[in-house]
Chains A and B, each alone.
Chain A
Amino acid sequence: MEARATDDSLIFARPASRLSSVTRAIIAFTGSDRRAMMGGMLLVLYILVALMGPGISPYDLNAPDLDVRMQAPSWAHWLGTDRIGRDVLTRIIAGSQLSLQVAAGAVIMALILGAPLGALGSYVGGAIDSLVQRVMEGLMAFPSLVLALALVALAGPSVIMLWFAIAFSSIPRYARLVRSGVLTQKEREYVDAARAMGQSPMRILVRQILPHIMAPIAVQLTLDFARAISVEASLSYLGLGLSVPYISWGTMIRDAQDFLEVAPWLAIFPGLTLAGVILAFTLVGDALRDRLDPRMRRSLSRRLA
């Protein structure tokens, strides 16, 4: 609500201050919403752990220790050890790095490929717009996991290929978001003003319109992050992800399934971690959307009235 009230006064403000007002709103809002706070805390924990890496553990990531094979969780090995005595917690920490790297790359790639397509269509209009739209509709018909699976299987797994394979089916979502955003913003006065000042279309798009449509894009990025983490783990579980020296939670669970009966912790802890991280992104994304979706806001205020 606050952001909307100050909208007009921000017409000629520097976009940087608008962006930081979004950031400030996010911070204020995580404090007021329990879901968002819980998700946000998990999310920060995940990113911190991924940044610090397996070096924070006293155990070696890969060296086998045959004296402590398949041990249940204990004070020495909090989450147990695997079939050649490696510490499960240490490997889970290492797995967070791969999942963060793959998911972050995938959502950024989807945004970078999708947003310009949407902007192009809405700004140019006409035949190009409808061509872009038809292509996007076609891409949306692909089951995202199946397409990612086929792409990685055909081209062979690499970090960049995973980015592309996971990003591919998200491209239309960003194209659509940006397209509809630009179409509504294009008619606003501040765009006329910028045009009158002689700014180029590119500049207007990036510096004037983009900051105004950042909110729905941020929601989409958060929710896609959850999806990307899940797809990476699923591909690895199916044996199509990155192999050694990369450590993926999906691969850990795949390796663990032969020992379900004797060492269930091998499958349970990586899975719980995975679910927790996906939950964190989903909670934050949902809470953000509830806050930013005008339809939702209307029904809320009606209920309050």
Chain B
Amino acid sequence: MLIRYAAMRLVQLIPMVLVVTMVVFFVMMIVPGDPVMVMLGAVDGAQVPQQVYDAMRVRLGLDQPLIVQYLNWLSNLLQGDLGTSITYRTSALEVILQRLVPTIYLMVGGLVIAVIVAVPAGVLAAIHNSTKWDHLATGFVVVGISVPTFWLALVAILIFAVYLGWLPSIGYTRPQEDFVGFLRHLALPMSVVALNIAATVLRFQRQDFLEQMHQDYVRTARAKGLSETLVLWKHVLRNSLITTFTVVGLQMAYLSGLITIVESVFNYPGIGYLLLNSIRTRDFIVVQGVVLFMVFLVIVVNLMVDILYTVLDPRIRYG
């Protein structure tokens, strides 16, 4: 049953993937300048022999009708071919995968810390509704949502690197080389990511827990004589975590933007940093590749959340 459900969800994704790839394909069409000249690495106004020009035009498939170009591009894409990077002269996918590991540390670390902090905080805020603790939590949420990430990152650098001198302000060390150095470099960017995500998770956790507390099953559990702690922290939290889980899944798109900014402020060599560098060097193949990669990440994570959702909550029937 679960496999059938997963397969069905996969089929439903097809139109979405078509739309996404079309948008990316046609957005690339607005790049100013002649793609043939860009691929030839020619500077503006440079003279290129007609033969060379025509050969590249055919090689790029630009002599074909637009729809054929799109389908060719899509079929390459499905085979994992994102094109050849203009600056690195190698496969764009390879370039992206090389930068992926630091980003994964940042994303996963940030998410985990955010959930560990925000879930209990949200529950406490809901249980002690309208008390000082609740106002404090709500204040944190409002500030966390309002403060722009790049500025928060700069303030963090100012406090912890410039004034206190506890942590390095920028850069990255590979964990296999120097694990302590790795943690020290990761600490600030990861905290900024975690703080941002925690604000959203806390908000939904609090809201959902408040709603769950008034459900019938809670009254039943209390009537059975279960202790208040057991009712709230086991029964209610369990149901409410499903919502939290979904919220975290929905944060994926936001998270991609978040890490792009954080990596840029901290000169952290992940795929967000790669994206910005490729924009600066006008390597549009890599730009396109990173955008596609991020979108597919969003789609895949949401698919996984959808499927896990049915596992976590048996009340949901497989369509």
Chain A residues within CB distance 8 Å of chain B: 134-135, 137-147, 149-151, 153-156, 226, 230, 233-234, 237-240, 250, 253, 257, 260-261, 264, 267-268, 271, 274-276, 278-279, 282-283, 286, 299, 302-303
Contact = CB atoms under 8 A, between A and B. Distances in A.
Given A155-B30, A264-B158, A142 B275 contact: no
Contact of A150 (B20, B254, B287, B302): B287
Interface size class on chain B is 35 or more
B148 interface: yes
Contacts of A268: 155
Contacts of B154: 253, 257, 260, 267, 271
A276 B157 CA distance: 21
Nearest to A169: B253
A192 to B, nearest CB: 34
B111 to A, nearest CB: 15
B16 A141 contact: yes
Given A279-B142, A283-B142, A138 B149 contact: no
Nearest to B147: A275
Contact of B151 (A134, A135, A239, A267): A267
Contact of A143 (B16, B256, B279, B284): B256
B169 to A, nearest CB: 9
Contact of A139 (B23, B32, B162): B23
Contact of A234 (B254, B261, B288): B261
Interface stretch (B61-69, B78-86, B291-299): B291-299
Nearest to A280: B146
6 tightest A-B CB contacts, nearest first: A138-B19, A145-B257, A271-B151, A143-B256, A279-B146, A134-B15
A275 B151 contact: yes
Given A134-B15, A145-B257, A275-B151, A238 B295 contact: no
Interface of B: 15-20, 22-23, 27-28, 30-32, 142-143, 145-151, 154-155, 157-158, 162, 210-211, 214, 253-258, 260-261, 264, 275-276, 279-280, 284, 287-288, 290-291, 294-295, 298-299, 302
Nearest to B28: A154
A237 B1 CA distance: 49
18 contacts: A135-B19, A137-B16, A141-B298, A142-B20, A143-B253, A146-B257, A146-B290, A146-B294, A147-B291, A154-B284, A233-B148, A238-B261, A260-B158, A267-B154, A271-B147, A278-B145, A278-B148, A282-B142
Given A233-B148, A260-B162, A143 B211 contact: no
Nearest to A143: B256
B258 to A, nearest CB: 8
B155 A271 contact: yes
A31 B236 CA distance: 36
A267 B158 contact: yes
Nearest to B214: A302
A138 B13 CA distance: 9
Contacts of B155: 267-268, 271
A276 B147 CA distance: 8
Contacts of B151: 253, 267, 271, 274-275
A208 to B, nearest CB: 32
Nearest to A142: B295
A264 B154 CA distance: 10
Given A271-B151, A278-B148, 19 more contacts: A135-B19, A137-B19, A138-B22, A138-B23, A141-B298, A142-B20, A143-B294, A143-B298, A153-B287, A154-B30, A154-B31, A230-B148, A237-B148, A237-B261, A267-B158, A271-B147, A274-B151, A278-B147, A302-B214
